Chain A
Amino acid sequence: MKEHVPHPDLPPPITNVGVIGWLRTKLFSTWLNAGFTLLAAYLIYLTIPPLIDWAFIKADWFGDSREACTSGGACWVFVNVRFDQFMYGLYPAEEYWRINLAFGLLVLLAIPLFIERFHHKGILAAVILFIYPIVAYYLFAGGSFGLEAIDTSRWGGLTLTLVLSGVGIVASLPIGIVLALGRRSKMPIVKSVCVVFIEFWRGVPLITVLFMVSVMLPLFLPEGSHFDKLLRAMIGIVLFQSAYMAEVVRGGLAAIPKGQYEAAEALGLNYWKSIGLIILPQALKLVIPGIVNTFIALFKDTTLVLIIGLFDLLGMVQTAITDSNWLGFSIEGYIFAALIFWIFCFGMSRYSQSLERKLHTGHAR
């Protein structure tokens, strides 16, 4: 009998690999696709070069009044001049360092969380969640430790956007988890309270919520009691978003097989331990895309506080473009605002993807 000799590995045909292969399979696989490829290339040619020309080549960058804008391109001078207001709102310029210090501190505290070898992540996270907000509050608001008191109505710009969305994100996730657990509870009263809460807040638009907390709530409060407008907006946003978060988390909880609960019970873990150690780590991992989706929506929804007279980044831009000295530069203003929002949202999206990859443990569901 003839002995079997294994067939040697041959290189693939030249038309299937490399640049030619890629072009053939991805761009010009059929006549129709080739047509679309050429059409798309033409559209890109029509739009991108003029955009680059307007935004960079013919743009004006420096100066301090609209007279500096002479080249016919984008007038970034406008953004440049108003930059501080876009970032800090009406916060007094000599106190900007307080905001910078607060955000710098946060970045500094957060860096070790991303270092693999750092082992005290739990403690650090607790510091960020519970101690940092108090420090940041005293830095922002002042009024003690020799810092000048600055009313929250003067907070604005990107600072306000980040404060609102930061508080919203940090507070809505745990509240959402509790609501989701409550909704799946076997106890009828707990369950119905959670269902009513979730369905109520999901059923009303955020604008209505903000109006209610800013206009109606004071009517029910005792005469003369001061209840900060920013705080009211925060509460409204947190309650609203936690209802959405609850439903996202509930989706994750529903995807965990019953056997996981049973195994945890059989090992003697009580309800809270099995939820905290077994169920939630798996459920939250499953719904990372949904959670981040809600975070991104929340981040962008904070712009709605404009209607109750708080000026976030977009609010500041809108005020700036109605300035009679700078009429006609709304496009630059909006592009700048859009770019800032996009950077933050894209950052969140990328972070969620890397988190998903990191937490993947190779189990198929």
Chain B
Amino acid sequence: MSETDNATKGMSISEGVVIEINGMHKWYGEFHVLKDISLKVRKGERIVICGPSGSGKSTMIRCINRLEEHQRGQIIVDGTELTDDIKHIDQVRKEVGMVFQHFNLFPHLTVLENCCLAPIWVRKMPRKEAEEAAMKYLEKVKIPEQAKKYPGQLSGGQQQRVAIARSLCMNPSIMLFDEPTSALDPEMIKEVLDTMVQLAETGMTMLCVTHEMGFAKTVANRVIFMDGGEIIEENEPVAFFNNPQHDRTKLFLSQILTH
């Protein structure tokens, strides 16, 4: 974006890389959660990250918009390096949308207000324009008729779709999904996945932490397997599922695919 600090512009070497993570480490106190993570994501790529719980997959994607800070290594998002500099963090957050496991909608605001809040207060968009844009996205996630309701009056699946619309209202170029379907009842998972598939078709760069292997097979360009804070294996979905290279990956796949 035009406001990007010139000093950090053009740091990504290869063409079309929007997220670049180099030798990133993170500790929670003494506990080494992320170990030497390196990852390049090109524009429009759809990446699924899976792994057992506690493997650091959520922590990794939360580092990308600085909800968690890393202690060593480098994260460059859309040409802006994440440092303590609050300007850089704000710059990255404008470009990166995030969808959470527990939706995290604002319960005191209506669906429409949830969607308009950030465009109005962060992007300084006039209210009317923000509302029109919000309605457009609510139509895309197929719940424009719920705009005047409060989140507490919606089902889990509807809430998650509102959360997706809310992120899209900021016009991000990258979307992060942190287990978006894990807190949903089975019959609502499909409506959220459908929305995500539809989003993928628009060419959005997406990083999804998920256990929905069907989604990974149909939508992802790449699947990343993490365990113990490291990236163990990454491959194209077909190769990943049919021909896993590491024993740890094989074990994980056998555990989640046998039922």
With contacts A266-B65, A282-B107 taken as known, whether A361 is within 8 angstroms of B100 at the C-beta atoms is no
Given A267-B93, A277-B117, A362-B152, A262–B104 Cβ distance below 8 Å? yes
Which of B100, B117, B150, B153 has the most A CB atoms < 10 Å from its CB?
B117
CB of A270 within 8 Å of the partner chain: yes
| A268–B121 alpha-carbon span in the complex (Å) | 9
In Å, the complex CA distance between A282 and B114 comes to 14
Chain A residues contacting B150 (CB-CB under 8 Å) are 361-363
A273→B93 CA distance, assembly (Å) = 15
Q: Which listed residue (B97, B117, B121, B153) contacts A266, Cβ 8 A?
A: B97
Q: How far is the CB of A158 from chain B (nearest CB, A)?
A: 37
Q: Tally A residues with Cβ within 8 Å of B.
A: 23
**Given A260, A266, A281, which contacts B93 in the complex, CB threshold below 8 Å?**
A266
Knowing A361-B107, A362-B150 are in contact, say whether A270-B90 is a contact too (CB < 8 A): yes
How far is it, in angstroms, between the C-alpha of A264 and the C-alpha of B122 when the chains are bound? Answer: 11
Report if B94 contacts A (CB, 8 A). yes
Check: A64 CB closer than 8 A to any chain B CB: no
| In the complex, per-residue mask of B156-190: 1 if CB is within 8 Å of any chain A CB, else 0 | 00000000001100100000000000000000000
The residue that A259 contacts in the complex, of B65, B100, B108, B152, with Cβ under 8 A, is B100
Q: How far is the CA of A273 from the CA of B122 in the complex (A)?
A: 9
Which parts of A252-275 form the interface with B (CB within 8 Å)?
Answer: 257, 259-260, 262-270, 273
Choose among B102, B107, B151, B170 the residue that contacts A267 (Cβ–Cβ < 8 A). B170
Question: Is B94's CB under 8 angstroms from A263's CB?
Answer: no
Q: Mark A339-365, 1 if CB is under 8 A from B, else 0.
A: 000000000000000000001011110
Complex alpha-carbon distance, A364 and B107, angstroms = 9
B105 within 8 A of A: yes
- Asked if A66 lies at the interface with its beta carbon under 8 angstroms from chain B, I say no
Closest chain A CB from B238 CB (angstroms): 32
CB distance A269 to B67 under 8 Å?
no
For residue A285, CB closer than 8 A to chain B, the reply is yes
B69 to chain A, nearest CB (A): 12
Residue B98 at the A interface, CB < 8 A? yes
Whether A278 sits at the interface, judged by CB under 8 Å, is yes
B90–A281 touching, CB < 8 Å:
no
* C-alpha gap A270/B90 in the complex (Å): 8
| B215 proximity list for chain A (CB < 8 A) | none
- By the criterion CB–CB under 8 Å, are A262 and B108 in contact? no
Which chain A positions have C-beta within 8 A of B167? 266-267
CA distance A277 to B120 in the complex (A): 12
Tell me, in angstroms, the Cα distance from A364 to B94 when the chains sit together: 31
Nearest B-chain residue to A364, judged by Cβ: B152
Chain A 311-362 interface residues, beta-carbon cutoff 8 Å to B: 359, 361-362
Using CB atoms, name the residue of chain A closest to B176: A266
Residues of B within 8 A of A265 (CB): 65, 67, 93
B106: A residues at CB distance < 8 A? 260, 263-264, 278, 282
Can you name 18 A-B pairs with beta carbons within 8 Å? Answer: A259-B102, A260-B104, A262-B100, A265-B67, A266-B93, A267-B117, A267-B118, A267-B167, A268-B94, A268-B118, A268-B170, A269-B118, A270-B90, A282-B107, A361-B107, A361-B152, A363-B107, A363-B150
- Across the A-B interface, the 4 shortest Cβ-Cβ residue pairs: A363-B152, A263-B104, A363-B107, A267-B118
Chain A residues within 8 Å of B, Cβ to Cβ: 257, 259-260, 262-270, 273, 277-278, 281-282, 285, 359, 361-364
